[in-house]
Structure formats: C-alpha cells, structure tokens
Amino acid sequence: MACLAVAALFLLWMGLNVFLPATAKKFPELTASSQMDIRGQIHVHSLKSHDSRGTFEEIARAANASGVRWIILTDHENPSAQKQKESSRVIDGVLFIFGTETSQGASLLTAPETNGGQLSVCGHIERLDHSNMCDNVDALEIVNLHANAVQEKRRLGLNLFFAPHRFYDTLNFVLPSNFEVWHRLATKQGRIIPIVAGPDAHANQKILGTTIDTYDIMFHLVSTHVMLEKNEGLSEETLFRAIHGGRTYVSFDYLGDPTGFRFYAEENGPPMPQTASQRERKLIARMATPDKGAEIKFFHGNQVVSARTDALGGFVENPDPGFWRVVAYKDGRPWIISGFILVR
C-alpha cells in the first residue's frame, strides 16, 4: 500500500512539473490585408478579487511570456466597496483594462465606460437560462476553462495520475450547448455577436504545493485574438472598437500559433469579419502558413457543411443565407474558432 501511495505521488509530481505546457513564444503581429492580429485575455482575476492574490506585475510577466498584449481584468464586484472607474494603463508593456464580474447564474463581464467606451461580455454561458440577461451584450464567452474543468473534473483527476501528458488537453473543448446559445441569440437578434475566450484565471488552485492554474499556463492554453486596423495602435478605444465590430476569433494557442488566420467573404476581401454580406460566391478560411495537421470544418448554423479544404484552409461556394463559422481542429481537438459571417 505504501508503495502504491509513493508511486501515485510520483506520477502526480510528474504531471505537475514535467508535463506542464511549455511557455509560449511571443506571437508575431502578422497582418491580414489592412489588419493586425493581436492576442489578449479577458476574464482574468487579480488581488482585487476575494479569491485571487495575483499582482498586476505577476499577470504582466505571464502575459509577456505567452505573447499576450492586452488584459481585461474582471475582478469580482464588491457591493460594499465604493465604485471607482480606474483608467486603463500599460504595465510592463501590456495594456491593462480594469473591469468587473457580476454573477447572476451566467456572468456579466464589464469594462466601465471611459474614454474608450464600454464593453459588456456574457460569461459562463453554460449557466445561461432563457432570461434576457445576455440579449444586449457586446460579446459572448464561447469557452471558459473553469467551466471546462468542472465539467471534466473526474477525467482531470484520472489524467493527472495515469496520463499526465494529457492533463491540460482535458480542458480543450467547447461545450456544444455554448455553440447553441451563441447561434440562438444571434438568430433572435439578427446580428453578429462576437466571441471571446475566458481563461477565468485566478492562480489559486494547488496540488502538492504546486499551482496548476498559473497565469502563464492559463494564458498559454486559450486566448482571444482581435484584428486591429493596421494604421492604429493598441488602446482601450481601438480594442473595444475591434470587439464591437466582431473582429475576433478564439484559439487554443498551445496547439500552434494561429496568428494571421482569417475568415471572410470573397467579394469583400480578407478584412474580417463581414457583419452582414449579400449573397456571396464564396466564403473562405485561410491560415497564414500551411498546416497539414489541421482539419477545417465549415458550419452553417450548427450543421457541418461540405467544403473544399487544403493545408491553407478551405472555402464554401454559393453559401446559403444564415450564420456561418469555421472551426479548425488539430488531432481531433478544437484549435481555432472563428466569429460569424452573416449571409443575407
């Protein structure tokens, strides 16, 4: 029995110290036509939340290590505290925007109205009921790593001991119900609803004294990519404008650098996205560089549609009216989730 316990502890140590994801390189800001692809994070908690101790400097170091250029902090709102708008600022080269998270079943992630405008994101949409809580938000959190961990907590525990090299792979999925919520709300409102990814980073989960959800790890696993206009710099204003305009996609970056990915309607050209387009001859998904290990699927609503694909992406000809998106997979796991194109 003692030998089994020692073996189990050894496997646990291996899982936490040997098979942690490698630190991501800094992704280049590749251009797609007139736009630049900038990686960032929303749904991050700091010492301003009751359940986190992370300092801004610690979060900035993790951002720099994983190629993240912007952070939207969404600390838990304290009803008894005096509400103050804190202006965005740059810390160690990373743009910090200070927002809050308010939980009412689902979560409302908001960045307060300042010079850059305002941003509201519906988070934890796996908890969303049929209320109108998320009807008027600017974006939806299509994936949340904390929710994924809760959903797969048994498999996480098993992988920690018996397949430690797959421990973090366990978090790599999008709940089908999240896609359904996204499509339902977009159809109901007749508009593009942008998507973001939520690492829901707290850096507060420890096993054997090892933090398994460090900011570096969480930022490396999944992120939100925004397409900024090439002639404008990164600021609160330009970031919010890009998200409002639907110029986002989500990526599990540890599977590979997606920078430069784009999904567009042929007649309008590569800048993404088309918030609405007339009947197009072709919808095109393109990688910045060939990737023979990726599989591209086109979705009309939530149904897979036959498409022509190659190592650079693929296309669908004469698309039917409705909401279209693409998902790129690697080894059967989701890698890139595009925003919608609405064909009218």
Q: What is the DSSP string of 262-323?
A: EEEETTT-SSS--SSBSS-SEEEEE-SS--TTEEEEEEETTEEE--EEETTEEEEESPPSEE
What integer pLDDT is reported at residue 80 of this predicted model?
53
Q: Which of 18-22, 78-82, 212-216, 265-269 is most confident?
A: 212-216
What integer pLDDT is reported at residue 325 of this predicted model?
96
Strand-pairing partners, residue 343, are 277, 322
For the segment 144-169, the average pLDDT, to the nearest whole number, is 90
What integer pLDDT is reported at residue 231 of this predicted model?
83
Instruction: Take residue 195 and report the two structure tokens written for it.
Output: 């998507």
Residues written for the chain: 344
Residue 120 has pLDDT above 90, yes or no: yes
For the segment 138-151, the average pLDDT, to the nearest whole number, is 96
Residue 278 has pLDDT above 80, yes or no: no
d(CA 181, CA 187): 10
How would residue 23 be classed by pLDDT, with cut points 50, 70 and 90? very low
Strand-pairing partners, residue 77, are none
How would residue 132 be classed by pLDDT, with cut points 50, 70 and 90? confident
How would residue 208 be classed by pLDDT, with cut points 50, 70 and 90? confident
What integer pLDDT is reported at residue 3 of this predicted model?
61
pLDDT tens for 8-21 read 556 555 655 555 55
> How does DSSP classify residue 166?
G
What integer pLDDT is reported at residue 7 of this predicted model?
58
Antiparallel, parallel or unpaired: β 248-251 and 333-337 = antiparallel
Residue 268 has pLDDT above 70, yes or no: no
Residue 148 has pLDDT above 70, yes or no: yes
d(CA 118, CA 130): 25
pLDDT tens for 27-86 read 556 555 668 999 999 999 999 998 999 999 999 999 999 999 999 999 987 655 545 668
Sign of CA dihedral 122, 125, 129, 135: positive
Alpha-helix runs per DSSP H in the chain: 2-17, 56-65, 145-151, 153-162, 176-189, 215-221, 236-244
Residue 142 has pLDDT above 60, yes or no: yes
Residue 275 has pLDDT above 60, yes or no: no
Residue 274 has pLDDT above 70, yes or no: no
